[in-house]
Amino acid sequence: MTSIAMQFKDAAVARKKAEKKDQLAAEYEADTIRQTAEDYDQFQLLVNSLETDLKRLSGLSPGDKDKLKQDELIPKYISVAQKYIEEGESYRNPVLVEVIIMMLDVGQIPEAMAFVDCAIEQKQPMPERFKKTNLPTFIADSVLHWANAQIARDKPHDPEFSQTFEAMVEDGWKVPRELIGKYHKLAGDVDLSNKQFKNALEHFTRAMEIDPVGSKCTTKINQIKKKLD
């Protein structure tokens, strides 16, 4: 049975992690793109149309929400996001962000990745309904969940997983350190299954350095060291 002291400690750790996420979200929002479309009135009509469509999701079951996104909303707005990128525009674009969110929500990860680089580079903000996360964190978390599901079903998880992992580390995405630790852990699991023991050991060790409590890699590290010895 968990002691009161342990419960207090766990609550304190959870509160600290939540505060870090709030801080990351606030820092990202403070640094986001501020420009608006040249034809602001016309673009605002499009944004209003999107907001009306998104309200249709309210009250639907998760399955019905995904169906509406896949069958109607993504096809309706994806061309707008594609045109924005192709024309090299740079302004605050909620349509681009909502298209990415919807594709990630329904598991269209490979398709979403075509829009991610532009949105991250331009520091596009998340919609107001997302209070405690920024776009890099939302993308990285979605890709991680998808990759875990793909691996469980023995389906490909790359290049999307590796591209996101590399971008987080190399490009300095503002994401919680614990999330980077989870990427190291999954990468280690993949290497371990492929008997690439040294690579797996490096990832598990790094995961432990980042998140000693949450990563739970000690047993795997010890097993790999025995094999290597």
Instruction: Give the pair of three-digit tokens for residue 196.
Output: 């690439």
Q: With DSSP H G I counted as helix, E B as strand and the rest as coil, what are the percentages for the chain, rounded to 5?
A: 70, 0, 30
- What is the average pLDDT across 50-61? 96
Give the per-residue pLDDT at 62.
96
Higher pLDDT, 13 or 52: 52
Higher pLDDT, 3 or 184: 184
Give the per-residue pLDDT at 22.
63
**Calpha distance 20→34 (Å, rounded):** 24
The pLDDT confidence band at residue 30, using thresholds 50, 70 and 90, is low
CA distances from 10 to 4, 88, 213, 214 (A): 10, 47, 11, 11
Asked whether the predicted pLDDT for residue 173 surpasses 70, the reply is yes
Alpha helices in 31-108 (DSSP H): 40-55, 62-68, 74-86, 94-105
- What is the average pLDDT across 212-225? 93
Give the per-residue pLDDT at 186.
98
CA distances from 6 to 3, 36, 222 (A): 5, 50, 26
The pLDDT confidence band at residue 8, using thresholds 50, 70 and 90, is very low
Give the per-residue pLDDT at 28.
62
Query: H/E/C letters for each residue in 113-169?
Result: HHHHHHHHHCCCCCCCCCCCCCHHHHHHHHHHHHHHHHHHCCCCCCCHHHHHHHHHH
CA distances from 212 to 34, 169, 204, 209, 227 (A): 39, 19, 10, 6, 22
One-letter amino acid of 186:
L
Q: What is the mean pLDDT of the chain?
A: 89
Asked whether the predicted pLDDT for residue 55 surpasses 90, the reply is yes
pLDDT tens figures, 110-162: 999 999 999 999 999 999 999 889 999 999 999 999 999 999 999 999 999 99
